[in-house]
Amino acid sequence: MKNPTTLFAFFFALFFLPAPTSAPFELDWCYQRTLSWDDFWGAPDPYSRYSAISSTYLQEKHKCEVNNKFTYSVRSVFVKTSSWSTDKKSASLLHHEQVHFDLTELHARKLRKLFADLPYPCYLPTKAIKFKIDSLYDELEKAHRFYDRDTYHGLYSSKQEKWDNLVAMGLQSLEDFACSP
């Protein structure tokens, strides 16, 4: 016969402990928004000219439920297995990579705002919503590229400070659309 304590612990964990929100190789900005070098699991690209790469993405889901109730979720995700660094001692480099993750969360908030502001979304053509989402994804990619170019991958400290402030102000201006863990 199985140990009743073990069975109780199993059922308690199954029904009362919160389910994980992402795979163990991913970080959700809502739950762990501060990166450490321990989060960079990927193997460095030996042919890359960069000292670090942060792999982030937006995960979004939306649908129309019964009675045309529009529901959505948007997550800003950091992928540990695709993120790497050749210099895990540099605090300034880690900070630069952190702002990449923050920039992804800024665009997650923009997408949450876009969804919240859609007039009668369940009556809009799917293509119209997809176009808006795709436009925001394009904006995010351009923002990451411009951030790296403008800061010279974090090496221009005055430009890095400018971006730190811009992203922080952007996050604060969209605080109403922050994720809730």
| pTM: predicted TM-score of the whole model, two decimal places | 0.85
Nearest 5 degrees, angle CA 149-CA 151-CA 154?
115
Three-state SS annotation for 44-89: CCCCCCCCEECCEEEEEEEEECHHHCEEEEEEEEEEHHHCEECCCC
Mean pLDDT, the chain, rounded, equals: 89
Residues 86-134: pLDDT tens digits? 999 999 999 999 999 999 999 999 999 999 999 999 999 999 999 999 9
Question: What distance in Å separates the CA atoms of residue 139 and residue 107, rounded to the nearest whole number?
Answer: 8
Strands (E), the chain: 26-28, 52-53, 56-64, 70-79, 84-85
